[in-house]
Amino acid sequence: MHDNELPDPTGSTVAAGTDKFRYEFPRAIVAVDTALLTIDPDRGLLVAEMERGDTGKWALPGTFLRDRETLAGAVERSLDEKLGVRDIRPAQLWVFDDPHRDERHWVLSVAHVAVVRPEQLESLGRGTAKSTRLVSVDRPGELAWDHPNIVKRAKEYVRSRYEELPDPDRLLGNTFTLRELRLVHDAVADNDEPPWDRDAFRRRMHNLLIPTGVKSDSGSRGRPAELFRRRSARDRTL
C-alpha cells in the first residue's frame, strides 16, 4: 500500500482568523492507491499488484502524500517508483476512509484507476517492488488492508463504462472493426459472463459508432471488414 515509514501522525494546529482562536485536532494521514488495469484476450481484465518487501504481502501500488504534493503527483510517483511505470494518468475513483482500514494509524486512501494497453506496462517490474504480477480482477488473491475493496470498486466502475460506451479508454486506435471492438469489450467483461453475441453487440453499439467508409487492411483472409470510429458528443447532437 504505502511507504514503510508513516508520516508524522501528531495533531495539527489551524488558525481561525487570529492567534486568539487556535484549535488542536487529530489529523488523518492521506495516501493514494491505484488499481492499474489492462486486458488480455485470454485472461480478461487484469490488475497490477506488487509484493511488499517489508511484509511480503501483495498490495496495490500506493504511497503517502508528501508535503505540498498533489494527489496526481503522488500517484505518478508511486507508479514510477514502485512499478517502474511512467506516463500514465489515473483518474480518481473513490475515497476509502474507514478509520480502521490500516492498523498502523488513521489513514484514508484516495483510490485511483486507469485502464491501459498492455504495451504501456512493458516496464512493469522495474521499480522498487520486490516483485509484481498481473492477475484477474475477479481473482485478485489475498491483498493487504482493504485493497480487495478497491479492486472491486475499480472493476465495477470500469465495466459499467464499457456497458455504456465503445472502448472509452481508447485501447484501440481511432478506427477499428466491430470484431476488434467486441474482443476488447469481451476482455473487460466478467469472466463468468458469456461473450457478446456478434449481432447483439452490433445492435448495442449501432448508435455509438460511425462507419468510416474504409475497409480494414489487416492482411487476414476473407473480405475486409468495415472500419468504424467512436461517435463524439458533437456527432450525437447533429
Regarding whether 101 and 90 lie in a shared domain, the answer is: yes
Regarding whether 101 and 175 lie in a shared domain, the answer is: no
Asked, for residue 144, whether it belongs to a domain, the answer is yes
Average pLDDT for runs of 10 along the chain of length 238 = 56 46 76 98 96 88 96 98 97 96 92 98 94 96 95 98 96 95 96 88 94 80 87 64
- In a 10 Å sphere around its CB, with 0-12 CB exposed, 13-18 middle and 19+ buried, how is residue 78 labelled? buried
Q: Would you report the helix, strand and coil content of the chain in percent, each value rounded to 5?
A: 25, 30, 40
Query: Three-state secondary structure along 57-109?
Result: CEECCEEECCCCCCHHHHHHHHHHHHHCCCCCCCEEEEEECCCCCCCCCCEEE
Quote the DSSP letter at residue 236. Answer: H
In which domain, by residue range, is 175 found? Answer: 165-237
What is the rounded CA–CA span in Å between residue 45 and residue 164? 17
Here the CATH number for the domain that contains residue 214 is 1.10.10.10
**Quick one: cell of 152?**
472491486
From the list 204, 202, 212, 205, the residue with the least C-alpha distance to 175 is: 212
Give the pLDDT score at 171.
Answer: 97
Give the pLDDT score at 220.
Answer: 60
Question: Which residues fall within 8 angstroms of residue 126, CB to CB, at 6 or more apart?
Answer: 83, 84
Here the CATH number for the domain that contains residue 121 is 3.90.79.10
Regarding whether 169 and 158 lie in a shared domain, the answer is: no
What is the rounded CA–CA span in Å between residue 102 and residue 198? 46
Of 162, 194, 216, the last residue of a domain is 162
From the list 71, 165, 51, 56, the residue with the least C-alpha distance to 115 is: 165
Regarding whether 201 and 144 lie in a shared domain, the answer is: no
Give the pLDDT score at 216.
Answer: 84
Give the pLDDT score at 195.
Answer: 86
Asked, for residue 1, whether it belongs to a domain, the answer is no
What is the rounded CA–CA span in Å between residue 17 and residue 168? 47
Regarding whether 218 and 154 lie in a shared domain, the answer is: no
- Quick count: other Cβ atoms within 10 Å of Cβ 17? 7
Regarding whether 226 and 113 lie in a shared domain, the answer is: no
**Quick one: cell of 155?**
472493476
Give the pLDDT score at 52.
Answer: 87
**Quick one: cell of 66?**
508528501
Pairing, β 44-51 against β 58-59: antiparallel
Give the number of domains in the chain. Answer: 2
Regarding whether 80 and 143 lie in a shared domain, the answer is: yes
Q: What is the pTM of this model?
A: 0.87
In DSSP terms, 38 is beta-bridged to 46, 116
